Amino acid sequence: MKLNTKHFGEIDIDEEGILEFEEGIPGFESAKKYVLLGTEDEESPFRWLQSVDKPELAFAVIDPFAIKDDYNVEISDEIINKLGIEKAEEMLVYSIVVVPEDMTKMSMNLKAPVIINACNKKGAQVVLDTDVYGVRHYILDELNRKRNNI
């Protein structure tokens, strides 16, 4: 299936890989289908969550554990049932990234990660029931903290 995206021009996506976000993503409730695209660097913790129904919409997302090793995601039974998650291994966790003009202030949302069931392709942005994490964690600060700990 061909998709004319804002960031990547025309791309060919594998329909098997289409993720269903039944409730959309808060602020973008009408976009329900996404694909996860890699970046040019395979080692990169970044991915793109590209909307299929709105080709102009894409979120940069990041593997939060690559930035913050002690990140803890505790998901309610409600979400586990809704996404049909049976094993922890089939669950993918990504944080949505905000890239402001000053790119050093790039941040990730640890309060509301995107959870994807890799088996049945269902996804949702989930609000964690904790005050430990906020919606804006500066990625470079977190990385510096991680490097200094080693």
Partner 1 sequence: MLVLSRKKGQSVIINDNIEITILEVQGDQVRLGIAAPKDVSIHRKEVFLEIKEENKKAANIANVSLNDILRKP
Binding residues (CB under 8 A) for partner 1: these are 6-7, 25-28, 39-41, 44-46, 57-60, 76-79, 81, 96-100, 103-104, 106, 109, 111-112, 125, 127, 129, 135-136, 139-140, 143
- Pick the closer one to partner 1 by CB: 12 or 40: 40
Radius of gyration for the chain, computed over Cα atoms and rounded to the nearest angstrom: 15
- Pick the closer one to partner 1 by CB: 16 or 33: 33
The answer to whether the beta carbons of residues 107 and 97 sit under 8 Å apart is yes
Q: How far is the CB of 107 from partner 1 (least distance, A)?
A: 8
Residues 95, 51: Cα–Cα separation, whole Å: 16
Q: How many residues does the chain have?
A: 150
- Pick the closer one to partner 1 by CB: 16 or 39: 39
- Pick the closer one to partner 1 by CB: 121 or 137: 137
Q: How far is the CB of 53 from partner 1 (least distance, A)?
A: 14
Contacts for 24-30: CB closer than 8 Å, 24+ residues apart:
25/59, 25/96, 25/114, 25/125, 26/112, 26/125, 28/54, 28/57, 30/54
- Pick the closer one to partner 1 by CB: 81 or 89: 81
Q: How far is the CB of 115 from partner 1 (least distance, A)?
A: 13
Q: How far is the CB of 133 from partner 1 (least distance, A)?
A: 11
Q: How far is the CB of 101 from partner 1 (least distance, A)?
A: 8
Alpha helices per DSSP H over 1-138: 64-67, 77-83
Q: How far is CA 21 from CA 44, 51, 96, 149, in A?
A: 24, 10, 15, 37
